Structure 1
Amino acid sequence: MPYSVDEFAYDLRQSMAPGDIWVTSGWTTVHAPPGSVCAVGGWFAPPYAAPDAELTVELDVDGRRIADGAAPGVAGVGLLHAGGTWWPGRMVRHGTYHRRHQDELISLRVQSTLTPLYGQAGFVLEVEIVNRAGRNITVTLHPRAAPGGPRRVPLGEWGWVPPAPGPEAVRADRWTWQAGDVTVELSHEGLSQDVPAGGTAVFALAVRTGPSTPPGRPRELAAESARRSEDRLARALARVPRLSSDIPGLEAYWRGSLTSGLVCLWDNPGFITSPFVATSGLDGGALCAYAWDTGGYAPHLLTLMLGDATTGVLESLMKVDLTRHYAIAPDGTGLGVPYAYSGWSLVTLATAVAAHLGVSPDLVTQLHDLVEGLDARFAPAGALRDYGDQYNLLEMRSTGWEHVAASPNAERAWCLDRLAELSQMSGARLPVDDLRSRARDIRRAIAGELWDERAGWFRCRYPDGHSELVQHIQAFDAMRNGACTPEMARIMLGRLRDGSFLAPYGVSAVAADDRLHYELGDTDWSGGGAYTGEGPQLALTLWERGEPALAWEVMRRLLWMGRHFPYFPQDHYCDRPAAPPAGRRINIVAGLAGAEAILTGAAGVRFRLDGSLVVAPAALPGGGMELTGLAYRGRTIDVSTSSGTVTVDGRRRTAGEVIE
C-alpha cells in the first residue's frame, strides 16, 4: 500500500532544524517563528517574495489581552507554546493559557493550522480556541499584519540567495497594502465569538497576493490547498516502496529522506518544468535546479517520484550552457559558474531515466555533445583534466582538493563508459570504442600519476608542480568510479575508522587526522561533518563494493537525522547530532541520497539500462528490513533483507538473478 501523507507527520518537539521551520505546498512556502503559536513569518511564492512579512495574533478574552509567543522563563506571560506537528503541506502548533485574574480563571487551549496556498500566492492561518474554564467568555482576535517589502521577482532571478525585501508596503485600507504593483490582502471570517464553557471557537485568516486575488473564504482556500497538496505528494509517493524495519531509527530516517525530496518539488506551471526540482528552496534560497545534486545523489528515487516528468527535468538541465553555468532558475535561465561535476550528474540522471523510462538516441547524442563540450572547458593535463580551483569545485576554504584531482577525473571516465553503454542500448551512433579507450586511459593516469604509495592516498597536482595530499571524502567517489586497484581500495577503506573519517553521528568531509586541511567552519566540505548527500553515498559505494558491514557502519551513524529533522539540511555535524546555524542550509534535495542508498545498496535493487533488474539484498546487523510496493516498469517488487527473499508481482524470484 502506498504511503499516505499523514504517515509523514513529524513531532516538532524533536526538531533540531538549523533555523525556522518552513512548510510548503509546492506553490507557496512559509515559515513559523520559533516559540510562537499563531505567528507567521516571511513567505515565497515565485514570482512573489515577502521575505520580511509578519503576521501576529493577539487574543482578547473579555477585555483582557493575551499576547502570543511568551518569552521563556517564569517571567514570560502570555500564550505559551506547547509543541506541534509538521506535515508536508501544513503545520499545526499548540498553545496553552491557564492563569487567574482577579479570582477568575482564564483557561484556553489554542491550536493553529498554517497552510501555504496552492495555485495562488499566500497562506491561511486557522486558529481554534477551546474554553476550558467553567464560564462563558467572549474571544476576539486582533491580527496585526506587517507585509514588509513584498515584491515581484522575475523567475530568472531566483538563484542561490533568497530574494531581498523591496520598498515597504503602504496601507491602502484596513486590510490591504500596496508595494508597487504588488497588492497584499488579509481576509477573515469574523474576529469575535462568544464561547460557552467547554466550547470551541474557530477563526481563519488568509494573506494573499497576486495580479487578481480570486475570491474565497479562508477555510475553503485552506481545504482546497491541503487537498491539492496531498494529491501531488500521493502521486510522487505512488511508485516509492514502503519500508518497515525492527532496526531503531531506520524507518524514520527513510521517511525523512523521502520528505527531503518531496519539499523540493514545485508545481508552478510558469516554471520550465512541472514538477520543478529545486536544490533547496524552502526559505526562498537555492530555488534553482543545480545539475549536480538534482542528478547526482538520488537519480533512481527522483525518477520514481517524478515518473515520466523526469525526462523533462533532464532535458531542461541539458538546455543550459554548462560551460558557463551550474544551475537553472525556475524559468530555465542559466545561473552560477561552470562546475566540474555537472556532466557526471546529468549522465547519472540519464542512466536512471534509461532504466526506468527509456531514452532516445537523439537524447544520448545530445548528452554526449554536452559532456564533451564541458570537458573541453577544462585544461588538458595528459589524459586527465585540470578542473581549476575551488571556484569550480568543492569550495573548500583551504588549498587542497583542486586542479588535477582524482575526482572528478574518475567521474569523467565513468561518464565515457556509460555514454558508450547508452549508445549501444539506444542505437545512438557514438564512437563507443574511443569512449571506452579514453576511460581506460584516464583510470590508468589517476592510479599512475596521482596515487602516492607512501601516503596511501591521492595527491592533487597544481599547474606549477605543487601538490597537495588532502584526506578528502571525494577520494571514495574516485574509488566508486573505478580509479583504484584492489590494493589501493584496501588501503583507503582502512581510513574508514573512528578518529579519521568516521564519527558518532556521520562522516567528515576531511578526515579528522588530516591536521593540514581539517577545520570546523566549513562543515559542508572541510571537516567536522559533511554535505548531507555524502554520507549515504559513501555507504552506497561500500554496498556496491561488497562491503556490507562497513556500509552499515557508515549508515547507522546517520539514522539520528530522521528523529531530529523534519527534512534534512544542507550539511550536518558528525561529532554531535546537530546542524550548523541557519544560513543557506535549510533543506537540500540531496537528502534523498539516504533512501537511494537503502534502496539500491542495502536492499540491493540494481536498475539496469535495458530495463531489467537485479535484486540482491544485503543482511543488516541487528535487525531486518522489508521494502514493499516498489513499482518498476509495470511490475511490483518486494524485498526482505531478513530472509533474503525477492518477489516480483507476488512470485518469488532468486536473489541476484536478472529479472527481465
Structure 2
Amino acid sequence: MTGYQIGDFDFDLRRGVAETLWTTSGWSTAALAPGTVCGVGACYAPPYAAPLARLAVVLEADGTRITDTGAPGMHGTGLLPAGGTWRLDGIERRGTYHRRHEGRLVSLLVRSELTPLHGRAGYALRVVVRNRSGRALTLRLLPELTAGPVGEVPLGQWGWMPPEPAAAPDQASLVHEPSSAAIEPGDEATFDLAVLLDGGGPGGSPGEWAGESRALIGRRTAGALERIPRLTTDVPGLDAYYRRSLASGLVCLWDNPAFATVPFPATSGIDGGALCAYAWDTGGYAPHTLALLLGCGVADVLEAMIKGDLTDHYAIAPDGSGTGVAYAYSGWSLVTLAHAAACHDGIAPDLVARLHETEEQLALRFPAVGELRDYGAQENLLEMRSTGWEHVVASPNAERAWSLELLAELTEECDAPVPAAPLRAQAERIRGAVAHDLWDAEAGWFRSRYPDGHTELAYSVQAYDALRAGACTPSMATALLAHLRDGAFLGPYGVSSVSAEDPLHYELGDVDWSGGGAYTGETPQLALTLWERDEPRLAWDVLRRVLWMGGHFPYFPQDHYCDRPAAPPRGRRANVIAGLTGAEAVLLGLAGIRPRVDGALDVMPPAWLPGVLELHGLHYRGHEIDLKLSAGHCEASVDGRVIHSGAPAPLRILGEPDE
C-alpha cells in the first residue's frame, strides 16, 4: 500500500509545544484542558459555540478523592499526566496516580479518549481506569461540567475571531453511562461520557457516537488523501514535516451540509476562529496540494467565493456570505487556485470567464496609477503595524500580472470567451511598470508609493512574491536574493516577514507580517520560489529551517518565530490551511513536479538534492505516478511501468512532448 492511512499522522504529545491542542471531526472541535488527563475545554460545532465550557473529571477510589486539575510542581497531588497521542480522529491521553492513604496504596493507570463528534454538536470522552493497587477497589467517576454561555451563532458571523454567544439560558448537556464500578487488581473499568451543545438526537450512547464518528473521520480522511503521494526520504526531519503539513490541511476541511461547500476549506477553524475561507490562504499558498485533497470540489469552492463577492470582502463565511473588506490578493489567489484545478481535473469555460470578470472588478475596486493599482492601506494588504508596504506596491501588483497570464492560459486551454492576447499584453505592461516605477536600484529593493508622493522602503518578504511573479530583471533578482542571509530575512528557525536589518518596520510584537517570524506559509513558499528559479541549494537552506515544526506541532499554527522554536502564545489562530505550503514546496519544488493545464505532467528535477527522495502514489488525471530522485539519478513510473531511469533531466511523464 503506497498511500497514507489515518494512523500515519499520530503525534506524540510529549513533543508538543503548542499552548493548547485541539481536535476536530470536520463537524465539531474541542480543546484539551492543558495539563490534565481527562479535562476538556472549549467546544465549537457551528452554529453552536461554547467558548467557556470545561469538563473536569474527579475519580473516587474507596472514598479517596483524586482530582485532575493539571496542577504543576509539588502541588500536583492528583492525577498526573504521563503523555498521549494526538490523532486525526481524536486525542488519547494517559496519566498515573500512585499514592498511599492511611498506609494503603492506591495506584491507578488512567487513559482517556477524546473524540469530536460528527453529525452531532459536541464530543465524547472515554475514561479507562486500571487498578494497580494489588487489591479490589470501588471506583466512582464524577464528571463536572461548567459550560458558560452556549448558543447558536449564525454561520455568517463566524469570522476571524472565535464567536462569543450572548448570555442565554442554553446549556451544554452532559450524557454519561453508569459512573461506578468495582474493579479487581489488574482489571479495568470503562466510563463513557458525552457533552452535546445542541441537545443531541435520539438513540445511541456516548460510546456508540464516538465509534461512529471515528469511523466516519477515517473514511473522510482516506478520501482526502487518496491522491496524495507518500514521501520516503533519508533527509532527517523532512518526512515528519511533510506529514504535519498535510495534517494542517486535513484539520481545515469541514463537511457540515449547512456550509457553502462540502468540504469547506476554512482558513483555520480548529479553535473556532477563522472558520471563514480566505481566497489568499485557500488558493495563494498551496493550490496544487489543496486540489489533490479536494478533487473536483475545488470548482465548488471557486463558485462559492465568486458568489460571495470577493471584490468587496476578504473571505466567505461558512454560509457563503462575504465577510471583511476587499483584499488586494484575492483576485490572484482565485486565479491561482483555478489554474491548479484546471491542471488536475479541468474547469468549465464559463467559470474561467467569471473568474476574469471577478479579477477585473477587484482591480477596478482600487484606483489606477498608470499601469499599476493603489491597493490602499494595511486593512487591504498585510496588516503590518507600521506604515510602509502600502498603496502602490510591487506585490500584489506583480501578482496581478501573473494572474492575467494564467487567465490567458486558461482561456486558450478551456476555450473560454475571453481574448487571451490583451491579457498577456496588459500583464507585460504591469510587470514593466513594477520594475520601472517601484524599483530603487541604489537600495536594491522596491519602494512603495503613496498618493501624496511619499515613497518608502519596507523590507517585506512580499518582495519575493514579485520576484516569483516575473517582475524582476536578472540584476533585480540578484539584489533581492542578496538579502536572504542570516540576521536579515533568515533566522535559525524560519524566515522573518520583515528583515531584521530594517530599522523602521522590524518589530517582535506582530510575528505574522512585521518581523521576528512569519505567517506559516511564507517560509516554504519562499523556498518554492527559489526552486522555481533553479536555486536548489538556497531553496533547501530556507526550507530546512522550518523542519523542526514537523517534530513539535501536530498541525501548524498561524505563525511562528524565526529566532526560536515557538509560536506566539496567545491571540493567534491555532491552525492554518497555509500549513499545506510545506507539502507544496516538497512536491513542486524539491521533487520538481509541474502539472499543466493541458493535462500533461512534467518533472524538473533540481540539479542538487539534500538526499534521497521518493514519492509513491501521486494520482494525476487517472494515473498513478511514482518518482525516485537522488544525486545523479531519476526514476519515474506511470501506473507501475518505469518510463525513465537515468540522469536527472527535464521530463514529460504524461502527455506528448512539446514540438
Q: Same fold judged by TM-score > 0.5?
A: yes
Total equivalences in the alignment: 647
Counterpart of 1:199 in structure 2 is: 187
On the 8 A contact 1:148/1:168 being kept in 2, the answer is: no
Q: 1:239 aligns with which of 227, 241, 248?
A: 227
Is 1:613 the counterpart of 2:595? The answer is no
Alignment partners' CA distance in 1, 2:436 and 2:82: 61
Aligned pairs for 1:77-96 within 5 A: 77-96=77-96
Deviations 1:637-660 (A, max 9, x none): 111221322221122334522221
Quick one: distance in 2 between partners of 1:561 and 1:212? Answer: 38
Q: Could you say what secondary structure the match of 1:644 adopts?
A: strand
Aligned to 2:58: 58
Residues 28-427 of structure 1 aligned to structure 2 (within 5 Å)? 28-167=28-167, 169=169, 179=170, 184-210=172-198, 213-427=201-415
Q: Cα deviation per residue 1:432-488 (whole Å; 9 max; x = unaligned)? A: 221111111111111111111111111111111100111111000000001000111
**SS of equivalent to 1:142:** strand
Write out aligned runs for 1:457-468 (5 A): 457-468=445-456
- Per the normalisation by structure 1, the TM-score is 0.97
Letter of the structure 2 residue corresponding to residue 198 of structure 1: G
Is contact 1:620–1:641 with CA below 8 Å preserved after alignment? no
Q: Which residue does the alignment assign to 1:7?
A: 8
| Alignment RMSD (CA, Å) | 1.1
- Equivalent-residue separation in structure 2 for 1:564 and 1:487 (angstroms): 39
**Deviation of the 1:69 alpha carbon:** 2.4
Asked if the contact 1:640/1:646 (under 8 Å) is kept, the reply is yes
Distance in 2 between residues matched to 1:657 and 1:248, nearest whole Å = 27
Q: Which amino acid aligns with 2:436?
A: G
CA contact (8 A) 2:616 2:626 kept: yes
Identity of aligned residues (%): 60
| CA positional deviation for 1:520 | 0.6
Alignment of 1:618-633 (within 5 A): 618=606, 621-633=609-621
Show the counterpart of 1:26: 26
Residue from 621, 645, 650 that aligns with 2:640: 650
Bigger CA drift: 225-234 or 646-655?
Answer: 646-655
Aligned residue for 2:256, secondary structure, equals coil
Q: Which runs of 5+ in 1 are unaligned?
A: 170-178
Q: Provide the residue aligned with 1:175 in structure 2.
A: none
Which of 570, 588, 591 does residue 576 from structure 2 map onto?
A: 588
What residue is the counterpart of 2:590 in the other structure? 602
Q: How far, CA to CA, are the matches of 2:37 and 2:145 in structure 1?
A: 16
How far the C-alpha of 1:84 sits from its partner, in A, is 1.0
Question: Is the Cα contact below 8 Å between 1:324 and 1:337 reproduced in 2?
Answer: yes
Deviation string, structure 1 residues 127-158 (Cα, Å, up to 9, x no partner): 00010111000110011111211001111111
The one-letter amino acid paired with 2:503 is R
CA deviation digits over 1:154-181, x for unaligned, max 9?
Answer: 1111111111143254xxxxxxxxx1xx
Q: From the superposition, tell whether residues 187 and 353 of structure 1 become closer, same or farther in structure 2 (CA, over 3 Å).
A: same
The letter for the 1-side match of 2:381 is: L
Secondary structure, in 3 states, of the residue corresponding to 2:634? coil
Amino acid at match of 2:59: L
Separation in 2, partners of 1:500, 1:644: 36
Distance of 2:365 and 2:288 partners within structure 1: 29
Relative to structure 1, is the Cα distance of residues 70 and 369 closer, same or farther in structure 2, using a 3 angstrom cutoff? closer
CA distance in 2, matches of 1:261, 1:167: 33
Partner of 2:471: 483
> Does the CA contact (< 8 Å) of 2:163 and 2:272 recur in 1?
yes
C-alpha deviations, 1:339-367, integer Å up to 9, x for none?
Answer: 00000000000001110111111111101
Write the distance in 1 (CA, Å) between the matches of 2:173 and 2:504.
Answer: 56
Structure 1 contact 161–584 (Cα < 8 Å) conserved: no
Counterpart of 2:424 in structure 1 is 436
Q: Distance in 2 between matches of 1:393 and 1:340?
A: 6
Report deviation, 1:620. 5.3
Does structure 1 retain, via aligned residues, the 8 Å contact 2:120–2:200?
A: no
Describe the SS at the equivalent of 2:85: strand
Asked whether the 8 Å contact 2:245–2:583 carries over to 1, the reply is yes
Which whole-Å CA distance do the structure 1 matches of 2:613 and 2:417 have between them?
Answer: 43
Q: Is the 8 A contact 2:331 2:362 kept in 1?
A: yes
Q: Give the counterpart letter for 1:7 in structure 2.
A: D
Match of 1:638 among 615, 623, 626: 626
Distance 1:26 1:288 in 2: 14
Runs of 4+ in 1 over 6 A off after TM superposition: none
Alpha-carbon distance between aligned partners in 2 of 1:74 and 1:511, rounded to the nearest angstrom: 44
TM-fit CA distance, 1:70: 4.1
Alignment match, 1:533: 521
Describe the SS at the equivalent of 1:459. strand
TM-score by length of 2: 0.97
Residues 530 and 328 (structure 1), Cα distance of their counterparts in 2 relative to 1, 3 Å cut = same
Going from structure 1 to structure 2, the CA distance change for 1:212 and 1:557 (only over 3 Å counts) comes to closer
State the Cα distance separating 1:418 from its structure 2 match. Answer: 0.9
SS at match of 1:105: strand
SS of match in other structure, 2:525:
helix
Distance 2:153 2:75 in 1: 43
C-alpha distance in 2, partners of 1:494/1:652? 41
CA distance, structure 2, for counterparts of residue 167 and residue 450 of structure 1? 52
Asked if 2 retains the 8 angstrom alpha-carbon contact of 1:37 and 1:94, the reply is yes
Instruction: Find the residue that maps to 2:73 and give its secondary structure.
Output: coil
Q: Distance in 1 between matches of 2:96 and 2:610?
A: 42
Corresponding residue for 1:174? none
CA contact (8 A) 2:175 2:206 kept: yes
User: How far is the alpha carbon of 1:619 from its aligned partner?
Assistant: 5.5
Instruction: Identify the match of residue 554 of structure 1 among 542, 548, 554.
Output: 542
